[in-house]
Amino acid sequence: MILDRFRLDDKVAVVTGAGRGIGAASAIALAEVGADVVLAARTQSQLLAVAKEVRRRGRRAHVVQSDLSDPDAAAALAGNAMDEFGRLDVVVNNIGGGRPGPLGRSSTESLERAFRFNVSTTDALTRAAAEVMLRGDGGAIVNISSVIGRVAGRGFLAYGTAKAALTHYTRLSAADLSPRIRVNAVAPGTVLTSALRKLVGEGPMRERTEASTPLRRIGDPQDVAAAVLYLATDASAYLTGKVIEVDGGLHALNVDLDLPDL
């Protein structure tokens, strides 16, 4: 059956930034289709809550509290998966972010920090995971980029540039790791994470954000998790080096971003 291609029974996944938002939704989605999950982030209480949800779905969860802005900590996660579960099949590189600020109110250091946080950490875990996966059955790597890495918006110089680099890193690493490891990415648009909720609230700014999106709503973390699930499973077995925009139509319809001034 075609739905069997969406299964990850007894496979093992590592998800970074797994304590909340897109990372938490992705980890739970992977568990729902049969994967055991290594959950990594800085806040243990959040990780424990997500681990509980994974176990409620009948799968094993292993919590790794770690500062993943350190590439060495990111690289260590492949070893955590092997030590705990004896294999590694899927990696979701969800760690990332950056402080908003236009060119005139940002610095070269903020750009370098954004690259370390969004690109260097992904590279570190990708390298470590690839070494493990190539000793086994191969696997799938899913990077979380951003629509801001593909379209221009005021105030996101460092973050957007780093995500653009991550998008092309996805293509280049896919070429290097094929055919045994597939590497793809999801580029979310405006998704209602806890950070965005603080920014847009429930009033006029949220209404403005929704109105500027062709589908007229803000995305949910599960919208992104569904795309992650597709790219992590054999449902996408003939895809590598691709970036899927989950952005309500912003990129495909060439919509100018109407973001709040930062």
Q: In whole angstroms, how far apart are CA 159 and each of 18, 64, 152, 193, 225?
A: 20, 26, 11, 17, 21
pLDDT tens track for 204-224? 767 777 777 788 888 899 999
Residue tagged active-site, from 159, 169, 230, 238? 159
pLDDT tens track for 13-70? 999 999 999 999 999 999 999 999 999 999 999 999 999 999 999 999 999 999 988 8
* pLDDT value for 255: 58
Residue 261 pLDDT level (bands cut at 50, 70, 90):
very low
pLDDT tens track for 230-257? 999 999 999 999 999 998 887 766 655 5
Q: At what angle do helices 44-56 and 21-32 cross, to 10 degrees?
A: 20
Tell me the pTM.
0.91
Among residues 142, 164, 156, the alpha carbon closest in space to that of 242 is found at 142
Structural domains for the chain: 2-190+221-245 (3.40.50.720)
Among residues 252, 244, 146, 145, the alpha carbon closest in space to that of 189 is found at 146
* pLDDT value for 189: 84
Longest CA span, the chain: 55
* pLDDT value for 155: 66
pLDDT tens track for 65-103? 999 888 899 999 999 999 999 999 999 999 887 666 666
pLDDT tens track for 161-220? 999 999 999 999 999 999 999 999 999 988 877 666 656 666 676 777 777 778 888 889
* pLDDT value for 262: 42
* pLDDT value for 200: 62
* pLDDT value for 22: 95
pLDDT tens track for 102-157? 665 667 778 888 899 899 999 999 999 999 999 999 999 999 998 888 877 776 78
The question of whether 159 is a catalytic residue gets the answer: yes
Q: Fill in the DSSP letter of residue 238.
A: T
